[in-house]
């Protein structure tokens, strides 16, 4: 599985998401499970990317989305558990 992460306080990191998704599509298995993560959600005073933009980006790639804060330990476990659960579900479907 792959966590694709951008920094909600850095527009350049968000603008590079399409490149990173394309890179994953070109170099990883087509079935690889992906989760999009917007990091530094605790930095509200310097936020540049609203949560809704991250949600729309994830929706366009049909993948789960989380806003997290590594510093404050917000949604870290949830993102990884979702990634692991999706991988398990995918394996169970394949048999």
How many domains does one find in the chain? Answer: 1
Give residue 70's domain range: 2-90
Is 49 within a domain?
Answer: yes
Please tell me what DSSP assigns to residue 54: H
**pLDDT tens digit sequence for 67-76:** 999 999 999 9
Lookup result for tokens 């790639």: 61
Whether the predicted pLDDT of 24 surpasses 80: yes
Sheet arrangement for strand 2-7: 2-7, 34-39, 65-67
pLDDT score of 55: 98
pLDDT score of 75: 96
Is 57 within a domain?
Answer: yes
pLDDT score of 95: 74
Mean pLDDT of 10-26: 96
CATH code of the domain in which 41 resides: 3.40.50.300
The CA distance from 34 to 83, in Å, is 7
**pLDDT tens digit sequence for 31-78:** 999 999 999 999 999 999 999 999 999 999 999 999 999 999 999 999
Is 95 within a domain?
Answer: no
């Amino acid at each position: 599985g792959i966590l694709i992460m951008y920094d909600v306080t850095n527009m350049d990191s968000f603008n590079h998401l399409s490149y990173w998704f394309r890179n994953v599509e070109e170099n990883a298995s087509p079935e690889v499970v992906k989760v999009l993560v917007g990091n530094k959600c605790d930095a509200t005073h310097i936020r540049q990317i609203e949560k809704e933009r991250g949600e729309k980006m994830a929706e366009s790639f049909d993948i789960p989305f989380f806003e997290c804060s590594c510093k404050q330990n917000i949604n870290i476990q949830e993102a990884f558990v979702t990634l692991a659960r999706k991988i398990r579900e995918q394996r169970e479907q394949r048999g």
